Structure formats: C-alpha cells, structure tokens
Amino acid sequence: MKKANSGGALVVCSGGVDSVTALYWAKCRYKRVEAITFNYGANHNKRERAALRRVCADSATPLTVISLPLGRYFKSSLLSGADKIPEGHYAADNMKSTVVPFRNGIMLSFAAGFAESNGFGAVVLGNHGGDHTIYPDCRPDFIDSIATAIKCGTWNKVKVLSPFCNITKADIVRFGAQLGVPYKHTYSCYKGGRRHCGKCGTCVERKEAFALAKVKDPTEYEA
Amino acid sequence: MKKANSGGALVVCSGGVDSVTALYWAKCRYKRVEAITFNYGANHNKRERAALRRVCADSATPLTVISLPLGRYFKSSLLSGADKIPEGHYAADNMKSTVVPFRNGIMLSFAAGFAESNGFGAVVLGNHGGDHTIYPDCRPDFIDSIATAIKCGTWNKVKVLSPFCNITKADIVRFGAQLGVPYKHTYSCYKGGRRHCGKCGTCVERKEAFALAKVKDPTEYEA
C-alpha cells in the first residue's frame, strides 16, 4: 500500500490490543506516525504505559505521555483501586462502573490540539464495535460528531480516524495477527497486576477475542 | 425567572468579561451553578484565575481549578511569553498566533466528564459571535457538533449551552451590566500584567465592547 505523505497520523494508544493494532494499521498507511498516551490515574495506566513503551521502542514510534488529573475529579471504578473492578463479561451491566466519563472525548480533543500544533493531519482511535454497549463515547454517533467538531474546530481540519468502529475485537485480532502486531507485549487488565487477572471485563473480552479469531493467545493469565 | 432544579450547570470560566457574564447568566437559570477553570500555561492564566477567584468568592460560586499540560506540547503565542503577543485589533489576521489549538474542545470535553461525574446536566461556554473570525473552536458549527458529541458520549446526555454564540461582545456587556456583573473584577489581557495593557487584541476588543454597549468601562488600562 502506498503510504500517505502529508500530515501524518497521531494514534491515541493505551497499550492494549485495540490501540496497538490501530498503531500498526496507521503505520501501514502513513509515513509519519506517532503515539500519544494519557496517564489519567487509572489502576492499570502504569502497566499499560510500560507495555506501550516497549511496543513503541520496538517499532521505532515516537511516544508522548500526557498526564491528566481525571482521578481527582471523575467518578469511575477504574480510578478507585483494583478491588473496585467488577469481574465478569465486558458487555455486562455491572461493567458500567468502569466507564471514565467522556474519556475518549477528552483524549481525542487533546490529541486534536496536539496534532494541530505539531503538523499531524489525523488522529486515530482504536475503539471497536464491542465497546458500544457500555461506553457511549465509543459509539458511531459519538465518533461522527466529535470528528465533525474537530474538523470544524481546527484550522487544518484535523481528521478523526476510527478504523475499527464497526468491527469486533475478534476481527481486530484476526487483522492484527496478519500485520504481526506483538500482542504478547500488549497489556489491558483493569486490575493492573503484573500478569493479566483473566477475570475482569477486559481480560474476559481479550480471551474471547483470541478464541473467536482462532489466533493463539500469547497472554499469561493468573486464572 | 423560575430556576431549573435538575442537574445544575457547570460554567467554563476564564475570569474575563464573556465567561463571567455566562456565569451570571447561568445563575439566573439554575439553582446549582459551579465554575471550572483551566490553567493551561498561558501568560495571563494567573491573573485571570485571581480575578475569577474573587468573582466566585463574592458570588458564593464553588470553583474547581484544573491544570492541563498544554504549554509543553501546544504551539501558540499565548503560551510563549508576553512579548510574543501581537498588538492590534482582535479580529485581525495576526491574532491567529494567539489561537491555542482546540482549546475549547479540550475544556468542554473535560467539563463534560466532570459534569457527568458530579451530577451537572449542562456545561456552559461564553464564546461569542466576535470570536468566529480567529477561533475555529468558537464557531456555531463547532459548538453544534461538540454538543452532539457530548450528548451522545455521556450516559446522562450532558448538554452544552452557548448563550452568546450569535451575539457580539458589546451585546454581552450590555446584557451583563443589567445583571450587575462585576466587570471591574474581571481580567482578560493576553499580556498578563497587573493592569490591562490596552493594546493587545483582547484589550482592544474589551474597550470597544464597552464603548459600543455605552456602558462605563471600569477597567484600568496602561495605555
């Protein structure tokens, strides 16, 4: 694929399966790709960030780390310590406690201003179809309207790209495996332990995605 | 006017003429009103904040101060020291250097998450018709689309209110004078000195607004 020359892409990354696949997706399409990550005070931010640093170092991707003071002002079990994280299926109703209100809006907005300041033409988010039940700021109507807001609200008409918005996490894993995404080095457990707990919503979803994609899961789980 | 009981309003405030008038506007309409302000590293943030603290103290309005690390990553003359601030008319082309990329998007997004976390039904922004030339994230199409994004992206469908979006700063001053807004205690000079410089874009605009509104300007200018 011929890579886009102009502008470049800034990928909002956590260090999990979806955003690291989005990073590899962008690297197939743009000559200039950088990652931006947000430390917003979640239990698992530190592990995610360590994973992301490794992925970025191995793929020669510049990474910017931004600290945002959400933890002090926002209400979410994700900001309240590992023992507050519910166990079970990712799409179940009790997972709503893990919503960090308008997190994707905040991250995309910051990334848009960063992109405008530093000459990127696009920001990329790895949200996917399975996020829609629990996270309102992962749904297509949110993505469409924030994309319009960012296009209207920047002089360079920065684009929002959401390549996985209408596919599943299993589809992402299937696609990423073909690109050689180093899933072994990604991290997504909401509990934030050294190994993935295997029981929280994201762990259950992660296992399920590899199983459905028929891709070998390289993750070491506690359970 | 009967005040809205449910939810309450969170007003994004700098401490200048427009946002303090928006605060008083909200206080006429909602029983519960709080202010949120952002220290994003601009030359004048400290003076603005001191002004806002006084206004909030005098009007018994709770105020939350959020620090955002824009100064290190964003490009704007507003983030580069007082001697980088252009002089002249606010709507002139050289004022484009004072744009802080997607600032309103970032502030509204943070405010939306804060509102959702703390039970506010609406966030209020004091942008106005005169901002449209220079600041893309003050225009009606931006406001409409970010309002949709915030409504779609929050469980409680947080509203964005932009009461001055289609009126001028002179209209704001005329309206605020009737409400008894303490303009003497507001601050907006981009140079960030003890007194308003009287020459930068915002000072020129401020003077002009009082003159056009035929309201006595209580501001002490250097020039």
Q: How many residues does chain B have?
A: 223
Give contacts of B99 with chain A, Cβ < 8 Å: 155
Q: How far is CA A3 from the centre of its chain?
A: 23
Chain B CB contacts of A154 under 8 Å are 101-102, 136-137
CB-count burial class (<10 Å; 0-12, 13-18, 19+) for B216:
exposed
* Residues of chain A found within 8 Å of residue B69, distances taken between Cβ atoms: 66-67
C-alpha dist (Å) from residue B202 to B44, B62, B75, B87, B92: 11, 26, 19, 9, 11
Q: CA–CA separation, B152 vs B222, rounded Å?
A: 46
* pLDDT on residue B159: 98
Structural domain boundaries in chain A: 9-213
pLDDT in the model for residue A14: 96
CB A169, CB A205: distance < 8 Å: yes
On average, the pLDDT of chain A sits at 93
Chain B CB within 8 Å of residue A83 CB = no
Cα(B44)–Cα(A12) distance, integer angstroms: 30
Q: Using CB atoms within 10 A of its CB, is residue B26 exposed (0-12), middle (13-18) or buried (19+)?
A: buried
Phi, psi at B221, each rounded to 5°: -100, 150
Q: Which two tokens stand for residue A17?
A: 């399966």
Beta strands A159-161; A122-124: pairing state: parallel
Kindly report the backbone phi and psi dihedral angles of residue A185, in degrees, each rounded to the nearest multiple of 5, phi listed first: -95, 5
Q: Which residue of B has its CA nearest to A157?
A: B136
Q: B138: which residues sit within 8 A by CB, 6+ positions away?
A: B104, B127, B128, B131, B132, B165
Strands A9-12 and B159-161: unpaired
Q: Check residue B167 and give its pLDDT.
A: 96
Question: Is residue A80 a contact partner of residue A86, using CB atoms and an 8 Å limit?
Answer: no
- Measured CA to CA, the distance from residue B125 to residue B135 in angstroms comes to 14
Q: What is the pTM of this model?
A: 0.95
CA distance B13 to B35: 6
- Taking the Cβ of residue A66 and every Cβ of chain B, the question of whether any pair is shorter than 8 Å is answered with yes
Per-residue pLDDT at A6 exceeds 80: no
Contact residues on chain B for A116, CB-CB shorter than 8 A: 101-102
Distance CA B30, CA B208 (A): 31
In chain A, whose CA is at the least distance from the CA of B157?
Answer: A136
User: From CA A37, how far away is CA A10, in angstroms rounded?
Assistant: 10
**What is the rounded average pLDDT of the residues A46-69?**
96
pLDDT < 70: residue spans in chain B: 1, 5-6, 90, 223
Residue B192 has which token pair? 């960030």
Average pLDDT score over residue span A13-32: 97
Name the pairing type of β-strands A33-39 and B33-39: unpaired
Beta strands in chain B, from DSSP E residues, in sequence order: 9-12, 33-39, 63-67, 122-124, 159-161
Classify strands A122-124 and A63-67 as parallel, antiparallel or unpaired: unpaired
Contact A109, A150 (CB under 8 A): yes
DSSP symbols for A156-187: T--EEE-TTTTS-HHHHHHHHHHHT--GGG--
Cβ neighbours for B81, distance < 8 A, ≥ 6 positions apart: B43
- Is B40 within 8 Å of B73 (Cβ atoms)? no
Range B9-213: architecture per CATH: 3-Layer(aba) Sandwich (3.40)
Give the number of A-B residue pairs with CB atoms closer than 8 Å: 139
Query: For residue B1, what pLDDT is reported?
Result: 67
B195 touches A: beta carbon within 8 Å: no
For the record, the structure tokens of B7 come out as 């939810």
Instruction: Assess contact for A102 and B116: CB atoms under 8 A.
Output: yes
Which residues of chain A neighbour B73 with C-beta distances below 8 Å? 64, 66, 114, 117-118
* Confidence band, pLDDT 50/70/90 cuts, at residue A1: low
pLDDT at B5 (0 to 100): 60
CA dist A123 and A114 (Å) reads 9
For the stretch A67-123, pLDDT in tens is 999 988 999 888 888 788 788 776 777 778 888 999 999 999 999 999 999 999 999
DSSP-derived secondary structure letter, B166:
T
Question: What's the pLDDT tens digit per position in B127-176?
Answer: 999 888 889 999 999 999 999 999 999 999 999 999 999 999 999 999 99
Considering only alpha carbons, which residue of chain B is nearest residue A119? B75
Cα–Cα dist A158/B192, whole Å:
30
- The partner residue sitting opposite A69, judged by closest CB among B66, B100, B118, is B66
